[in-house]
Structure 1
């Protein structure tokens, strides 16, 4: 499902970006007929867009005639991650130093969640996230913290478009239940994730309010270490750092 081009936007550019995003969400490669079905665009349009993207190395054709993301995206992606990471790394490292667990910075990119910064815990057992990968927001604390900033209709629209796959037994897969859950997140100002993405892992997140981008700061770790006492201690630390990040990233 493609996004609507805003008034004043260039339709062909929007469609080309839609193709790249569809391929990314499909695991990195697609056939032309799959692109047409997923985007709703006719095959002649898909052919023109794909040919242009291949010529610019944003896509590459595989031996089986499917298309995969191209090499030109790699330096762009690295530059985008560096722009976030270089400006937030010291703040994320400060969270790790004070709390001992991995800290992450995430954003909503379209309908999906993407992690744009990370500072790992120094402990042997620690949580990792893949920077730049687009993931479903409903089963992650950072996703909840960001979705809670939207109204319920906007959230339902996102859930309708990307779905709510069940990852663990604890994953919320009912939209009505999820909307009720977000109401509590808005009231408390903090989102929690108890084994909804990975069994035995607890994560909490809160929004970075006031920055130029919609971001969320999160920490995660094994349930044995993410005790109630640690979470209570973590919230004021994370709020302090989130405020610093908002100022820093807005500059």
Structure 2
């Protein structure tokens, strides 16, 4: 497997407690889908007065909105997310191909990149037959649970994959999720040899998919594109030949643009 410069965050040598608390409160508002001061305080085992001060500061800066007694994550984060995505050259280069694949296949097409040892949806497009899924742009997922995640891992070196497993584990999403380290490495070797990865209801029951990695100069993996749909449509020749070929053609265009842009 070729080497990939994985962005693995290291533990801060001198973490600032107040900064961590700020982000924990923001994450709590997301997890709770909005909450009052008491609920956040109980959720994080913090004092109500401390939570109130943090929330009041975040609201003043525009990162939190208050509706009645409930606090919610503000849309200012959307501005930051949009900026972060625009900085990824891969997004602008890949978006037209992702849109074309969605139009051609009628299914859900995803562009995923790795960050902090997890996969994040950078772009999603829905075709006319696409099913509704509990995924969205900006959402993080465990790499081993998805076709595009496994496609990315297959082009990392073993030490990097081991580091991801040590950090995030191999939690099961469905009964079909690979949760054994040895089995995962065997799967990654197969993916590297055949050039594409399959999701056989490993992320969601009834959903299958296929993904192809995007390589820079044939070595460094930049991300992956996948097509996903209901198992009744994603099987046989379509799943293992037709769709992989369509994605590979799109990836070829993307890789040329990455190399020469």
Q: TM-score, normalised by structure 2?
A: 0.71
Once the two structures are overlaid, the 10-residue window that deviates more, 227-236 or 103-112, is 227-236
| Equivalent of residue 156 in structure 1, options 146, 162, 166 | 162
| Equivalent of residue 256 in structure 2, options 227, 247, 250 | 247
- Matches of 2:190 and 2:131, distance apart in 1: 28
Q: Which runs of 5+ in 1 are unaligned?
A: 36-48
- Matches of 1:82 and 1:152, distance apart in 2: 30
Residue 116 of structure 1 aligns to a residue whose secondary structure is strand
| Equivalent of residue 235 in structure 1, options 241, 244, 250 | 244
Aligned residue for 2:4?
A: none
Aligned residue for 1:145?
A: 151
Shift of residue 33, structure 1, vs aligned partner: 10
Q: 1:166 to 1:89 in 2, by over 3 A?
A: same
- Matches of 1:25 and 1:151, distance apart in 2: 35
Residue 197 (structure 2) pairs with residue 188 (structure 1): no
| Equivalent of residue 97 in structure 1, options 90, 100, 103 | 103
Aligned residue for 1:126?
A: 131
| Equivalent of residue 197 in structure 1, options 199, 203, 206 | 203
Aligned residue for 1:39?
A: none
Q: TM-score, normalised by structure 1?
A: 0.73
Aligned residue for 1:112?
A: 118
Aligned length: 236
Q: 1:244 to 1:26 in 2, by over 3 A?
A: farther
Q: 1:229 to 1:33 in 2, by over 3 A?
A: closer
- Matches of 2:55 and 2:83, distance apart in 1: 24
Shift of residue 52, structure 1, vs aligned partner: 9.2
Shift of residue 207, structure 1, vs aligned partner: 0.7
Shift of residue 92, structure 1, vs aligned partner: 1.1
Shift of residue 226, structure 1, vs aligned partner: 1.0
Aligned residue for 2:82?
A: 78
Alpha carbon RMSD of aligned pairs, Å?
4.1
Residue 4 (structure 2) pairs with residue 3 (structure 1): no
Shift of residue 210, structure 1, vs aligned partner: 1.3
Residue 186 of structure 2 aligns to a residue whose secondary structure is helix
Shift of residue 202, structure 1, vs aligned partner: 0.8
- Matches of 1:111 and 1:203, distance apart in 2: 21
Aligned residue for 2:214?
A: 208
